[in-house]
Amino acid sequence: MTTMVGQPVSRVDGAAKVAGGAHYTADVSLPGLVHAVLVDSTIASGRIRAIDTAAAERAPGVLAVVTHLNVPKLVYPADAPKGGASTLRRVAVRAFEGPQIFFAGQHIAVVVADTLERATHAASLVVVSTDQNQPVAVLTSHLDRAYRPERINGNRETDTSAGDIERGLRDAHVQIDEIYVTPIEHHNSIELSSCIALWEGVGDAKSLTVYDSTQGVCDQRATLATTLGLPQERVRVVCAYLGGGFGGKLSVRPHTALAALAADRVGRPVKLVVKREQMFTSIGYRAANVQRMRLGARRDGQLTAIAHDAVLGTATHEEWVEQSAAISRMLYACPNRRTTHRAVRLNLDTPTIMRAPGEAPGSFASEQAMDELAHKLAIDPIALRLRNYAEADPETGAPWSSNSLRQCYQVGADRFGWSQRSATPRARREGHELVGFGVASAARAVNLLPATVRVRLLANGRAEIATAAHDIGTGTYTILAQIASDVLGLAPDRIDVVLGDTLLPPSPAAGGSTTAPSVGSATQMAAEAAKRALVALAIADGHSPLFGTNSDDVELVDRKLVVRTAPERAEAVDSLLRRNGYGPDRPLAVEGSYLPPPRKAWSMYSFGVQFCEARVDADLGLVRVERLLGVFGVGRVLNAKTARSQLVGGMIQGLGMALLEGTVVDPRLGRFVNASMADYLVPVNADIRSIDAICVDEVDPRVNAIGAKGLGEIPIIGTAAAVANAVFNATGIRVRELPITAEKLIGGLQG
């Protein structure tokens, strides 16, 4: 029998999305639905002196104007540790706490009306008087304010040290000491953040249902319950489909709590859709980074020291710090290592997780520094990396559960034609274009979290897989159907997958590349439990041909239970279920729960290598990426088609990071200058020439039962560095500040 796992199965939800049957949050329609529009602060620092809502309240169709002056106090979950993952669930309470203004775009009023147009008009009538302070808004202008945060994202240590970094630098024959800068970057998913809040019941029976564009309905429920003072069982959160998130929809943002408050005030369902320009100030962003990389090495390329010091922006009212230097703790073998993180409080919204938090900006610094070291030593960049390959995790000393990095270098170099690279920058020219090759390594920790899945077997030859997990465009609906298909002997199109509702068994949020390894494992466990239940039912049924058979001798093939040693003894699953009282209203239902094992024995990472061919116009400085190749070791690939889609998509996002993306802050006003899709540039079709992503065969039985590591974030890691290294190889100009633009090259090209 052909196994479905690993096959390039087309998305089982594809037809619904193409035909309009997939309803996203803003598509939900409820009786009596009204609309809310946010009023935001135009200043970045100061206090509200007065809010005049009279004109807005008199406007046609207006039902309420909600401000900090007329709402109950929200509960602050103070037990969340600073910098830890749970910090993400704190931000909802920062809505309407009082008159203090922390950043431009802070929500200060919500106007509710019977139509969106009327709510929008009334919002323009709200008059806010403020006392304004000069904001602190640009990281690079305020590095002297840097302080040491308690923890960094993932509840990691802020600083780490091994060996003697100063001695390692002194013992080096060659040193690199450079500063690398990455700007603020925004998520810009296609679907705007939106929510619909509905209250039902009265008194102690009052409950809240929220339809929300979120990456984690269970986390959303927990936060909203705490924030609004409700038991969790009286909060339901629903999100069946998500139009992209990239981390920006992982945490509860203020607008969701405000929609719930507004719905409570007017006694009707309230829809709130964040405007595109508000997506820059309402859902977080990747903070700006200033990173100092110091490397020391002997003449043969062996590293003697790695020092990675990162300074990042955070908010004045909350602390969330990305783990940008963490990648330097584990990627290369080196006896002397140090990483530090410092933060600067800015009058901006709280930064948050963005695809591959930490590793994406961190690898831009670390992998460029490795390229600079290779150039200085006159060693091939891949040879330098192989010379410093880590046989075990340098940070913990634990052996790798699997590590295919060497294979990724070899396969990628052969496929890309790396041998054609000239070691001399600016040596290759074709017409008016300078041509260069670049490479960078990638690594991302495997994240495993508890998950529960319910399998229901129906007496019509179908099965249902249900869990509160999400498909954020990654193909979760499809891979869960494939996993269940192999166990249950059903084609994927006969398996219905139901996701994104807190009424379903709990599963983790779709972030950190956790869904495939965690929820996929739970799906396999639940499907195996369902299979065991079927076999037990058959061998205990005196009317079944399998009655009295040893359970180990029964297999499930093509919707039939069959005795392996006597194939003539077989029974259709549908017949067995119907005879035992199971039908449309009484399916056979079982659950399976996955609990991650202790990880101290093994270090679990996905690895990869990015290759880039860049062409630079010698007269204009314009950069065109001609080829991108990513080679990855990510454990077992569950679906070849959706996996490639994820890998290519991440590499394209990395290309945007390298050449286009960056949010500009006006230092006088603390406001984002390019808060629109017209001015914040992202890659489009014309920017992408040849792009390829492949996975090497990797078997990792230690990571989980299905052998999957997750691959949503690894493809963006190292892409920007590979592009920057290719640009240097093409031009001889080292660009250490993103994005790489013509303005940063033209002077050096003409000089």
Helix axes 719-731, 359-377, angle to 10 degrees: 30
pLDDT at 80: 41
310/320 Cα distance (integer angstroms)? 14
pLDDT at 87 over 90: no
The end-to-end CA distance of the chain, in Å, is 66
The domain segmentation of the chain, as residue ranges, is 14-21+449-594, 32-134+190-244+249-282, 143-185+286-446+601-750
* Closest to 608 in 3D by CA, of 578, 651, 560: 651
pLDDT at 90 over 80: no
pLDDT at 430: 97
Instruction: Dig out the tokens for 312 from the structure.
Output: 């990042």
pLDDT at 88 over 60: no
**CB atoms inside a 10 Å sphere around CB 692:** 17
3-class DSSP assignment, residue 563: strand
Instruction: Dig out the tokens for 18 from the structure.
Output: 């193409």
Structure-token match 């500040």, residue found: 737
* Closest to 42 in 3D by CA, of 113, 143, 130, 125: 130
Q: 217 near 208, Cβ under 8 Å? A: no
* Closest to 63 in 3D by CA, of 333, 270, 287, 363: 270
| Average pLDDT rounded to a whole number, residues 727-744 | 98
- The H or E element spanning position 293 is strand 289-297
Amino acid at 461: G
Reported as a single tens digit per residue, the pLDDT across 492-506 is: 999 999 999 999 999
Q: What is the DSSP letter of 244?
A: -
pLDDT at 599 over 80: no
Residue 163 backbone class (left: φ over 0; alpha: ψ -120 to 50; beta: rest): left
CATH code for 14-21+449-594? 3.30.365.10
Contacts of 302 (CB under 8 A, 6+ apart): 387, 388
Instruction: Dig out the tokens for 171 from the structure.
Output: 């013992």
pLDDT at 589 over 90: yes
pLDDT at 89: 42
| Average pLDDT rounded to a whole number, residues 632-648 | 97
Q: What is the DSSP letter of 184?
A: B
Q: Return the sign of the alpha-carbon dihedral for residues 608, 609, 613, 614.
A: positive
What is the Cβ-side half-sphere exposure of residue 273, based on CA atoms within 13 angstroms?
17
What is the Cβ-side half-sphere exposure of residue 260, based on CA atoms within 13 angstroms?
32
* Closest to 463 in 3D by CA, of 530, 525, 516: 530
pLDDT at 461 over 70: yes
pLDDT at 558: 86
Q: Return the sign of the alpha-carbon dihedral for residues 529, 533, 534, 539.
A: positive
pLDDT at 77: 57
Q: 479 near 411, Cβ under 8 Å? A: no
Instruction: Dig out the tokens for 57 from the structure.
Output: 């309240």
- The H or E element spanning position 690 is strand 690-695
Task: List Cα–Cα distances, 115 to 60, 120, 194, 564, in angstroms.
Answer: 10, 9, 16, 64
Contacts of 265 (CB under 8 A, 6+ apart): 64, 66, 112
Q: 416 near 627, Cβ under 8 Å? A: yes
Average pLDDT over the chain reads 95
Q: Which residues are catalytic?
A: 713
Residue 611 pairs in a beta bridge with 439, 629
pLDDT at 227: 86
* Closest to 126 in 3D by CA, of 222, 39, 30, 3: 39
Helix axes 476-488, 520-539, angle to 10 degrees: 30
pLDDT at 97: 83
317/458 Cα distance (integer angstroms)? 52
Lowest mean pLDDT among 104-118, 221-235, 336-350, 353-367: 221-235
Instruction: Dig out the tokens for 394 from the structure.
Output: 């340098």
| Average pLDDT rounded to a whole number, residues 531-542 | 96
Contacts of 703 (CB under 8 A, 6+ apart): 401, 402, 446, 448, 517, 602, 604, 635, 709
- Cα dihedral 404, 407, 409, 411, rounded to 10, equals -130
pLDDT at 2: 63
pLDDT at 277 over 60: yes
Q: 587 near 456, Cβ under 8 Å? A: yes
pLDDT at 78: 52
Residue 343 pairs in a beta bridge with 147, 312
pLDDT at 298 over 50: yes
The domain made up of 32-134+190-244+249-282 has a fold known as: Aldehyde Oxidoreductase; domain 4 (3.30.365)
Q: What is the DSSP letter of 487?
A: H
pLDDT at 95: 73
The answer to whether the pTM exceeds 0.85 is yes
67/80 Cα distance (integer angstroms)? 26
Reported as a single tens digit per residue, the pLDDT across 92-139 is: 446 788 899 999 999 999 999 999 999 999 999 999 999 999 999 999
Contacts of 39 (CB under 8 A, 6+ apart): 107, 108, 109, 110, 111, 123, 126, 128
Peptide bond before residue 508 is cis, with ω within 30 degrees of 0: no
Domains 14-21+449-594 and 143-185+286-446+601-750 share a fold: yes
Reported as a single tens digit per residue, the pLDDT across 616-629 is: 999 999 999 999 99
Reported as a single tens digit per residue, the pLDDT across 464-481 is: 999 999 999 999 999 999
* Beta strand pairing call for 194-200 and 207-212: antiparallel
- Cα dihedral 742, 745, 747, 748, rounded to 10, equals -160
Amino acid at 661: E
Task: List Cα–Cα distances, 431 to 327, 425, 428, 434, 741, in angstroms.
Answer: 39, 16, 10, 8, 21
| CATH classification (class only), 143-185+286-446+601-750 | alpha beta
| Average pLDDT rounded to a whole number, residues 530-535 | 96
Phi, psi of 746 (to 5 degrees): -60, -40
Instruction: Dig out the tokens for 93 from the structure.
Output: 């309470």
Q: How long a stretch of residues is the chain?
A: 751
Reported as a single tens digit per residue, the pLDDT across 37-86 is: 999 999 999 999 999 999 999 999 999 999 999 988 777 655 443 433 33
pLDDT at 226: 86
| Average pLDDT rounded to a whole number, residues 604-627 | 98
